Amino acid sequence: MNMRGLMKKETSRRLQLVEELYYAKELLTSEQLMESLNCSLPALITDVRFLNGENLPFKITKIKGLYTIDFDSYATIDAVYAYILRTSLEYQVINSLLFEKSRGIQPAADRLNCSFSNMQRYLISIKKEVIKWDITVTHRPLQMVGDEGAIRHLFYLFFKESRMEFADYGFSQRLLNSVDELIRRILEENQITNNMNIHFQLMHSFLIGLQRQKHGHKMKRIYRYSGLIIPNVKQLESLVRLIKRETSLEFTNACLKECLWPLF
């Protein structure tokens, strides 16, 4: 899945501009950047001005007609990428599609403080990109439907690249802690090394699965057995109680399997 295909051209170009300067072994001319970015000189100047005006840990400078970029000592290209993604309207639109906060385009536009036409344009752009993954965007309510596995994978990749915090899923810290304990338990009982990448993926996947089930979306194709030791929900009374309180879901073993979908 190409996450950049979900971004508008302007956002994608600005990300590429930062990357071109960051990875360049020497200073670059306007002509080189315009060719790489496939843009005009006014667009390049506007992008540089915009990026320098944002609260970003770098500065783009032009010295004797050559462009360079200087990062703060603590900054990384991944962190910059995540920041630009998180602050873009496209991200907010996709975020709205996961949480299904709006019944239609106008309420969503009002919530995101953008015009109806802009909201509609972003949705059309997203539709064109996700249709290749057998995903459709509906307007009433505003949501993604189709291949549930692909939808969840798309949300996971998008939130991974934007470095979305677990707390941003809207669940209590107690519930997050219970999910964290469950994942650690599963990894330990199955003698799987609990590294950051595995834990990160399973946490996000669980919370995405929980949000999708909360809104009535189920996976049609999921293997019955994972070959792993997975606790019965009867052993997870505290987690089940918290999920019931915060989502109104009757959390069954089938629901648990849906939340642990990458393992099946």
Residue ranges of domains in the chain = 3-75, 88-164, 167-263
Q: Which of 48-62, 84-98, 228-242 has the lowest mean pLDDT?
A: 84-98
Where is pLDDT greater, at 173 or 11?
173
190 DSSP assignment: T
The whole-number pLDDT of residue 1 equals 61
pLDDT at residue 113 tops 80: yes
What CATH number belongs to 3-75? 1.10.10.10
pTM equals 0.84
The model's confidence at residue 91, banded by pLDDT at 50, 70 and 90, is confident
Looking up tokens 């194709």 gives 221
- Answer positive or negative: Cα dihedral of 216, 156, 144, 105: positive
Residue 35 has which token pair?
A: 């060719």
> Which residue type is seen at 140?
R
Measured distance CA(4)–CA(12) in Å, rounded: 6
Pick the CATH number of 88-164 from 2.60.120, 1.10.10, 3.40.462, 1.10.287: 1.10.10
Looking up tokens 């969503």 gives 108
Reduced to 3 states (helix: H, G, I; strand: E, B; else coil), residue 141 is: coil
